[in-house]
């Protein structure tokens, strides 16, 4: 395929890579422990550096930006269509929702109380959240007389989940403004830079002129990482020196986009310590500054959440939404978790459209969220 430009030597297995915890700021207490740390499985982890402090010597040694190759998909994914990639990415969650539900019916035909209790546990295990699980269970209990066998139970569950997705507001229509400015936010390590790289690649392939603002100026490596993605995606980049004012980078990027006739601008931002007021203030300043150069910009505020952080993602969403008014969510790393039920939890608890889901590290693994396909892949 056309991904030779993504080729990069990597000696770690994909399995290790996908099991890796967030790369940055592993000491950031706002990011919970990864569910299954793999020894040596991280790709070039960075030593944590507190805000305002110099990075440790280790961090300097490892300052090489981290950009995964795109074609390291496992054999069963390679050359397959988007749906197959989605299915493969959701396999851990699907095991809970299918194999384990099948097991509930072993030696039984009808739904009984024990079974409902076990099903409730499965949904919680898949991280659908307590409230959503209770809600779904109530409705399933009401339909129990009609359910005979695992496949009927799965069909009912599928319907219930789809109902949540359909109740959500639809993402805004195709961009009308040119340049269309998308500010990308989220805590460290969730996949902002990677998601921008993938989106930029998609847009470029569709013939759009793309520009990226490297407004995570906190570390030189972050700017470098964004630049590599931009080059691979065939996108332009506006970058300043590290520690430059991110709002100035954002302003210059829109300025350049206006004069160059760019179609779409992605603004990468820092994600350090989202509980600290100063980061939120910094991001709000970026948002205001974009509007100074181009009224109505940013047209989208895309919040990136990491599925492996489970319910914690919901509190991040509330916080960012309150500060910035989030217009859409990209949920990454669904391939690294059995807790894909977080998708249902997000859709049922937040009134924000889920726009994209990430089911792996290559460009094809960032997909537009399609509710029907998602439930079909899940069961």
Which residues would be at the binding site for Mg ion (CB under 5 A)? 192-193
Single out the segment in contact with ligand GDP by CB under 6 A; choices: 166-174, 175-183, 278-286, 331-339: 331-339
Residue 63, interface with ligand GDP (CB under 6 A)? no
* Contacting ligand GDP within 182-201 (CB under 6 A): 186, 188-194
DSSP result, 38-69: -TT-SSSPPPP--TTSPPPHHHHHT-S-----
Residue showing tokens 């592993």:
26
Cα separation, 23 vs 329, in Å, equals 20
263 binds, among ligand GDP, Mg ion, none (CB under 5 to 8 A by kind): none
Cβ proximity to Mg ion: between 157 and 250 the closer is 250
Residue 360, interface with ligand GDP (CB under 6 A)? yes
Residue 71, interface with ligand GDP (CB under 6 A)? no
127 binds, among Mg ion, ligand GDP, none (CB under 5 to 8 A by kind): none
Residue nearest to ligand GDP (CB): 358
Cα separation, 335 vs 61, in Å, equals 30
For residue 36, how far is the Cα from the chain centroid? Answer: 18
Strand order in the sheet with 236-238: 236-238, 210-215, 264-269, 180-185, 300-306, 328-332, 354-358, 366-368
- What is the x/- site pattern for ligand GDP, positions 281-310, by CB under 6 A? -----------------------x------
Residues whose CB falls within 8 Å of the CB of residue 354, separated by 6 or more in sequence, listed in order: 165, 168, 328, 329, 331, 343, 346, 347, 369
Q: Contact, 21 vs 42, CB < 8 A?
A: yes
Single out the segment in contact with ligand GDP by CB under 6 A; choices: 16-24, 77-85, 131-139, 242-250: 16-24
Classify burial at 274, counting beta carbons within 10 Å of its beta carbon; exposed 0-12, middle 13-18, buried 19 or more: buried
Residue 28, interface with ligand GDP (CB under 6 A)? no
Residue 18, interface with ligand GDP (CB under 6 A)? yes
For residue 255, how far is the Cα from the chain centroid? Answer: 28
Cβ proximity to ligand GDP: between 340 and 360 the closer is 360
Where does this chain bind ligand GDP (CB under 6 A)? Answer: 18, 22-24, 43, 66, 68, 186, 188-194, 271, 304, 332-333, 335-336, 358-361, 365
């Amino acid at each position: 395929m056309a991904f030779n430009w993504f080729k990069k030597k990597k000696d770690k297995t994909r399995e290790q890579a996908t099991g890796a915890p967030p790369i940055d700021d592993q000491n950031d207490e706002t990011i919970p422990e990864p569910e299954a740390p793999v020894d040596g499985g991280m790709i070039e982890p960075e030593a944590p550096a507190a805000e305002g402090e110099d990075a440790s010597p280790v961090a300097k040694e490892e300052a090489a930006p981290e950009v995964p190759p795109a074609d390291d998909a496992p054999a069963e994914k390679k050359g397959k269509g988007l749906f197959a990639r989605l299915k493969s990415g959701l396999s851990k969650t699907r095991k809970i929702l299918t194999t384990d539900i099948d097991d509930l019916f072993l030696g039984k035909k009808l739904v009984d109380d024990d079974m409902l209790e076990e099903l409730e546990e499965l949904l919680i295990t898949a991280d659908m959240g307590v409230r959503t699980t209770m809600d779904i269970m109530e409705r399933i209990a009401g339909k129990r007389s009609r359910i005979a066998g695992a496949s009927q139970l799965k069909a009912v569950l599928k319907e219930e989940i789809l109902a949540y997705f359909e109740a959500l507001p639809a993402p805004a229509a195709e961009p009308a403004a040119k340049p269309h400015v998308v500010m990308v936010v989220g805590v460290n390590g969730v996949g902002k830079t990677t998601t921008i790289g993938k989106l930029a690649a998609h847009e470029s392939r569709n013939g759009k002129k793309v520009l990226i603002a490297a407004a995570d100026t906190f570390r030189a490596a972050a700017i470098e990482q964004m630049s590599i993605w931009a080059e691979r995606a065939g996108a332009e980049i506006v970058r300043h020196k590290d520690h430059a004012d991110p709002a100035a980078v954002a302003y210059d990027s829109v300025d350049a986009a206006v004069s160059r006739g760019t179609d779409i601008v992605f603004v990468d931002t820092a994600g350090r310590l989202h509980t600290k007021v100063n980061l939120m203030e910094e991001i709000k300043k970026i948002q205001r500054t974009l509007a100074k150069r181009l009224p109505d910009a940013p047209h989208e505020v895309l919040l990136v959440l990491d599925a492996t952080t489970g319910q914690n993602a919901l509190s991040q969403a509330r916080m960012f939404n309150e500060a910035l008014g989030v217009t859409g969510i990209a949920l990454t790393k669904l391939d690294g978790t059995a807790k894909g039920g977080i998708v249902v939890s997000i859709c049922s608890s937040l009134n924000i459209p889920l726009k994209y889901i990430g089911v792996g590290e290559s460009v094809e693994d960032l997909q537009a969220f399609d509710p029907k396909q998602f439930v079909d892949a899940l069961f």
